[in-house]
């Protein structure tokens, strides 16, 4: 459970260095003061379709990656 006033978002990564054989979604939290932290909550899957299905099942909405994002970032879910 997250604190009130904290934005929770899942960032999807394409085979990051710590999970070279998987797609990964990590839960990030942003406070009202703009402080970011990566939580210990992680989802992994063999393919992007599985990650997307898991996040969609939470009722989240997909946001496309920004050109400024690290190349390993696929998308973000809110």
Give me the domain span that covers residue 20: 7-77
pLDDT of residue 13: 98
Residue 15 — pLDDT band, cuts 50, 70, 90?
Answer: very high
pLDDT digits (tens, 9 = 90+) for 18-75: 999 999 999 999 988 778 999 999 999 999 999 999 999 999 999 999 999 999 999 9
pLDDT of residue 4: 66
Q: Is residue 2 part of a domain?
A: no
Q: Is residue 30 part of a domain?
A: yes
- For the chain, the C-alpha Rg in angstroms (whole number) is 12
Distance CA 45, CA 76 (A): 16
Helical spans, DSSP H, in 1-78: 48-57
The answer to whether 28 touches 36, Cβ cutoff 8 Å, is yes
Q: Is residue 61 part of a domain?
A: yes
Q: Is residue 1 part of a domain?
A: no
Number of domains observed in the structure of the chain: 1
Q: Is residue 24 part of a domain?
A: yes
Alpha-carbon distances, residue 31 vs 16, 44, 64 (angstroms): 25, 25, 22
Q: What is the pTM of this model?
A: 0.89
Distance CA 72, CA 64 (A): 13
């Amino acid at each position: 459970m997250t604190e009130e006033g904290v934005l929770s978002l899942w960032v999807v990564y394409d085979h990051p260095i710590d999970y070279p054989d998987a797609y990964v979604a990590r839960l990030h939290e942003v406070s009202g003061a703009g402080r970011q932290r990566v939580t210990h909550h992680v989802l992994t899957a063999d393919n992007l379709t599985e990650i997307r299905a898991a996040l969609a099942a939470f009722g989240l909405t997909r946001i496309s990656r920004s050109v400024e994002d690290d190349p390993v970032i696929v998308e973000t879910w809110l």
